[in-house]
Chain A
Amino acid sequence: MSAENTTPNDHANPAVDGSELIRFDKVTKRFGDNVVLDNLCFDVASGKHVTLIGPSGSGKTTILRLLMTLVKPDEGTIKVAGDYLTHEEKGGRLVPAGERHVREVRKSIGMVFQQFNLFPNMKVLRNITEAPVHVLGMGKDEAEERARELLELVGLTDQMDKHPSQLSGGQQQRVAIARALAMRPQVLLLDEVTSALDPELVAGVLDVLRDIAHTTDITMLCVTHEMGFARDISDDVLMFDEGRVIESGAPEKIFSEPEHDRTREFLSAVL
């Protein structure tokens, strides 16, 4: 994995074996006059767990939202498993991707949101089976069988006939994790998944995620303020500030001996 926003001269050290699953190439994103991401380049290799840290407004969440195609980049390209995400090649030129292309590439990405975003009009089980049945075309029995396995993984088998509103925040978030996994994504995006939870419910959600991180080969991109969790699961940590990666490396290094003043400052504020 590499991260730099320096020169427009591409990637200083791209994953040589070509195993990078995600590649941001000179991505810029603005909201009005505010430059949220500034000419950002970084790769994530398949199977890695990468945590994005940094002060709020530094662009971490925007990276996840770009990958989920919830927002579009103003400049630059994003590749997932070798395919352009928001562009496609037509007649040798790169043009904005059509809906069909986006859906094809997006298949490999799943996301868990800060606010859970479960469907309140569906029971827990149907929240998990809806997309496998209607998007992947899976049979109803198979989808339900798999949903039960996933509910077991997140420890909520006994809640499957309830509506989301009958569950606690922590339970809802665990259902949301199961729902995302039901689509068998290669990449799981975790956007501050414990920030909306009461403190005593955080541990249950993090335990589930630790379990997934350690027992599957799913690639994870994680925006979190839970530094202990980040240290546990991450292969790499990227420190963001003002739309740029200012420092990256193994969690031991970033958390114990950060090079950058800004990183030290940030860590001393959150740890």
Chain B
Amino acid sequence: MQWDWSAVADFMPRFWDGVLVTLQALVLGSLIAFALGLVWAIAQRSALKAVRWPVTVITEFVRNTPLLVQLFFLYFVLPEWNITFSALTTGIVGLGLHYSTYTAEVYRAGIDGVPVGQWEACTALNMPRGRTWTAVVLPQAIRRVVPALGNYVIAMLKDSPMIATIGALELLGQARQFSAVTFQPTEPITVVGIAFILIAYPASLLMRALERRLVR
């Protein structure tokens, strides 16, 4: 096996396109997963059955079906109802939606971990429901779950190559296309593997720094 530096150089333009797509998917997908997961978690504590039930059904369904099936559904089936997004947008939404069902569980654990006395103190101070959530419960709950949320960011990064299957060419997708044309898989796939580490490791350091700041 020969290592060909010129193949690495030839791959670079596609590589940077791939980096851009992977980072977009990771950052935007994480933001969706964090925000939507919080919505699921709070909705599941609603006093109304009509809110709790659909949310439970949706999150259980999404969590227990493969991400790949969801991506295909969003990209190939939704257009049947004239709902069409670009491959990248679909990929970001798919990743975010899928992981939101996991972050929802993380938030739920964090919310359950807030002592019941905190809720009671809010009642005793006559605080409205919304203020109880935003000023007291969520700040305490989220602080506890930052490490667990961080793990899902890394997991999402590792699942991100799936969006290449619907044509959003992230790092691995670019590498495969490149090698399909040049018949040189070694260099691009090695470079991509290293790139994943270079993204994942700083990301986990960042989460750890955040954790240190939040968890006292």
A and B interact physically: yes
Q: Which of A's residues lie within 8 Å of B, judged by CB?
A: 68-70, 99, 103, 106-107, 109-111, 113, 115, 117-122, 130-131, 134-135, 165, 179-180, 183
**A135 and B124 contact, CB distance less than 8 A:** no
Pair B124/A130 contact, Cβ less than 8 Å: no
Q: Is the CB of B131 within 8 A of A134?
A: yes
CA distance A165 to B123 in the complex (A): 22
Interface string of B28-47 (1 = CB under 8 A from A): 00000000000000000000
The 5 closest A-B pairs by CB, nearest first: A131-B125, A117-B121, A117-B117, A111-B124, A121-B139
* Other-chain residue from A68, A118, A134 in contact with B123 (beta carbon distance below 8 A): A68
Are B121 and A135 in touch, CB under 8 angstroms?
A: no
* B residues apposed to A, CB below 8 Å: 115, 117-118, 120-121, 123-129, 131, 135-136, 139-140, 143, 216
Q: Which of B118, B121, B127, B136 has the most A CB atoms < 10 Å from its CB?
A: B121
State A106–B128 Cα separation when bound (angstroms). 12
Secondary structure class of chain B's binding surface, majority of residues: helix
| Residue contacts A-B, CB under 8 angstroms, 28 given | A68-B124, A69-B123, A103-B128, A109-B124, A110-B125, A113-B117, A113-B120, A113-B121, A117-B117, A117-B118, A117-B121, A118-B121, A119-B121, A120-B140, A121-B143, A122-B135, A130-B125, A131-B125, A131-B126, A131-B127, A134-B131, A134-B135, A135-B125, A135-B126, A135-B127, A135-B131, A179-B125, A180-B124
Distance A260 CA – B49 CA, assembled complex (angstroms): 49
**Distance in Å: Cβ of B40 to nearest Cβ of chain A:** 23
Chain A residues in 8 Å Cβ range of B140: 120-121
